[in-house]
Structure 1
Amino acid sequence: MALTEWFDKGLTYEQYRQGMAVNGEGMDSIMARFSLPDREKEKLTNVKTEKLRAIVLTEDWCGDAMLNNPILVKIAEDAGIEVRFLLRDSNLKLMDQYLTNGTARSIPIFIFIDQNGAEKAVWGPRAPEIQKIVDEERAQLPDKEDPDFKEKQKGMIGRLTKAYVEDQQIWETVARSIVHTLTGD
């Protein structure tokens, strides 16, 4: 299936949000409080003329999607990008074309296409700086066989989720990374 067909199959942000059972409040909170910094808006001037579209591979249970999706939506508003959401687990044929490190179905993945359906850029699942934070947190976890692993992992996820919902510097880092992918700046 061509990327345009995948895009046409996707949900609008409102449809995606209405179907969410997990992380909706966190996503709403970020959406309500994040605004794209002016310096990033200025970089998007040329992107507006390209009339790009974005396909978002996502799932509502994913904390990274909770963080990144509303930021993409705000960028899209400023750059004139139409966005459609596809649930990863229902669209594995597409997902498997965008594996992280060639093996992982990590999400979200943002696929930017032009009006002809040609891929222009791909972003995800995390900004490099956020990946570093996640890697540092994971490095502190005990081995998976350790009886405390699940509890420690739950604590790590809780800390990351709290930071994702509250830390505006994280939001701006994600925005800069997405804008850089779109503009090269």
Structure 2
Amino acid sequence: MGEKMNKVSEFKYSKFLNWNEYIDSMSENKENFKKLTNKILNDKDLINKINKLNTKLNNKEIIVLTEDFCPDSLFNIPILILIAENLDSVTLKIYRRSENEELNKIFIKNGLSKIPAIFVLDKNNIKYKWEEKPEKAYEIQSSIINKLKQNPELDDNEKKNSYLKLSECEYEKNLWEETINEIYNLKEL
């Protein structure tokens, strides 16, 4: 697959979206995304936990690769928005994977093929990387899917809505904190 790239300035990519522009341009999950973002932005406990990231993310840029349809993006990008809104020296740039093929290639060359995928940059150098969801979410996701399988009378749309509601409850309980902890514990590349 080639050598990893440590810089993202090695190519030209299309204009990023700030988080408000991203929400305005969403074609899927927009209302749920707005609801979750507003909930997170007003959560005092999460804001306090974000503050422990200040030293690690000081003067850094967070690049997010995502798509509207992705449920993991729905639940995790609002945490990145909270980080950018509460840590003065952090910049958040959101890119759609489908519109940024070259950027997607750089993420893949650095081992990130799922979304949302993030790079934390320090002067265009990739300092940290993270993707998709916190580890604990995989266990919870399996549990939710198993519960839904026990209800064969639900159609696909009902299953999707039930999955989103159950996932939201789990994120509210502890997965948002897990995302923050995983970002805090990222090892420098």
> Which TM-score applies when normalising by structure 1?
0.75
Residue in 1 aligned with 2:24? 18
Secondary structure of the equivalent of 2:118?
strand
Secondary structure of the equivalent of 2:27?
coil
Task: State whether structure 2 residue 132 is matched by structure 1 residue 129.
Answer: no
Secondary structure of the equivalent of 1:32?
helix
How far apart are 1:119 and its partner, in Å? 0.3
Instruction: Tell me the amino acid that sits aligned with residue 39 of structure 2.
Output: R
Residue in 1 aligned with 2:91? 82
Residues 7, 55 of structure 1: 8 Å contact kept: no
RMSD: 3.3
Matches within 5 A, 1:21-40: 21-34=27-40, 35=43, 37=46, 40=49
How far apart are 1:134 and its partner, in Å? 2.1
Pick one of 100, 110, 123 that aligns with 1:91. 100
Secondary structure of the equivalent of 1:96?
helix
Instruction: Tell me the amino acid that sits aligned with residue 129 of structure 1.
Output: K
Instruction: Tell me the amino acid that sits aligned with residue 77 of structure 2.
Output: N
Aligned residues: 173
Secondary structure of the equivalent of 1:84?
strand
Q: Structure 1's 6 and 137: CA in aligned 2 closer, same or farther, altered over 3 A?
A: farther
Secondary structure of the equivalent of 2:77?
helix
Runs of at least 5 residues in structure 1 that lack an aligned partner in the other structure: 143-147
Matches within 5 A, 1:1-185: 2-4=7-9, 9-34=15-40, 35=43, 37=46, 40-47=49-56, 50-79=58-87, 80-99=89-108, 105-114=113-122, 116-138=123-145, 151=155, 156-167=159-170, 168-169=172-173, 170-181=175-186
Distance 1:101 1:139 in 2: 33
How far apart are 1:77 and its partner, in Å? 2.0
Instruction: Tell me the amino acid that sits aligned with residue 131 of structure 1.
Output: Y
Distance 1:62 1:131 in 2: 15
Distance 2:109 2:158 in 1: 25
Q: Structure 1's 132 and 154: CA in aligned 2 closer, same or farther, altered over 3 A?
A: farther
Distance 2:50 2:187 in 1: 12
Residue in 2 aligned with 1:145? none
Instruction: Tell me the amino acid that sits aligned with residue 137 of structure 2.
Output: I
Q: Structure 1's 95 and 132: CA in aligned 2 closer, same or farther, altered over 3 A?
A: farther
Cα deviation, 1:75-98, whole Å, max 9, x if unaligned, reads 222233101111111223322333
Instruction: Tell me the amino acid that sits aligned with residue 90 of structure 1.
Output: E
How far apart are 1:158 and its partner, in Å? 2.9
Q: Which has the larger displacement, 51-60 or 10-19? A: 10-19
